[in-house]
Each structure stands twice: as C-alpha cells, then as structure tokens.
Amino acid sequence: MVGLTWLMGSVVLRTAGWLLLIVGVISLANVVASGSVGAVVFAPLMPVLGAVLWLAGHWLFAFKHHFFRSGIAARAFARLARGRLDPTRGWGVPVIGTGRSRY
C-alpha cells in the first residue's frame, strides 16, 4: 500500500483536488443562486479542500522529483510556506553568488 501511494499518490491527489475544486465552485454557484442558507456554510469547504489536495499532490511530486510540476504550486509554497514546507529547498546548486569572481 505504501508503494502504491508513493507511486501514484501525487497523480491521485492532484486529480482529486482538481475535481473537488471544480465541483465545489459549481456547487457554490448553485447554492448562491438558489439562496439555500444551510448549504452556504459547507459549500465553500469543497473548493478549499480541493485546493489543499491539489497542493498536497504537488508537494508529494516535488518531494519525489525535487522540482514542482506547476509554477503556481512552486509560487504558493515559496510565498505561503516560506521554505519550511518546500521539499525542493537545498537541492539546487547556486550558479552565481559564491562571492568570488570566476575570472
């Protein structure tokens, strides 16, 4: 089970995240259009859960491959996580910036 999660986990999480995000936005639009009071509380949770699953899938992919599959996910982790949750930190080699001249 762990091997299957490691192999297919990022794809499953990203796909489920997109599906929940799309279905959540559609259901949120339906709730707003219908004016149902009880569903207004739970309708925003589905797109948020979809975005979290999508980001978790990208995090798992970056943890395995040391780069992000999406630029949006890379920017989200760079801005929101500030490096603590960024699985790609420390994997790059600085090209310039050692403080000495190459020539």
pLDDT in tens, 51-96: 999 999 998 988 888 888 888 888 888 887 776 777 777 766 555 5
Query: How many residues are there in the chain?
Result: 103
pLDDT by residue (tens digit) across 35-53?
766 666 777 888 999 999 9
pLDDT value for 103: 45
Greatest Cα pair distance in the chain: 70
Q: Count CB neighbours of 59 within 10 A.
A: 21
pLDDT reported for residue 25: 87
Q: How far apart are CA 8 and CA 10, in angstroms?
A: 6
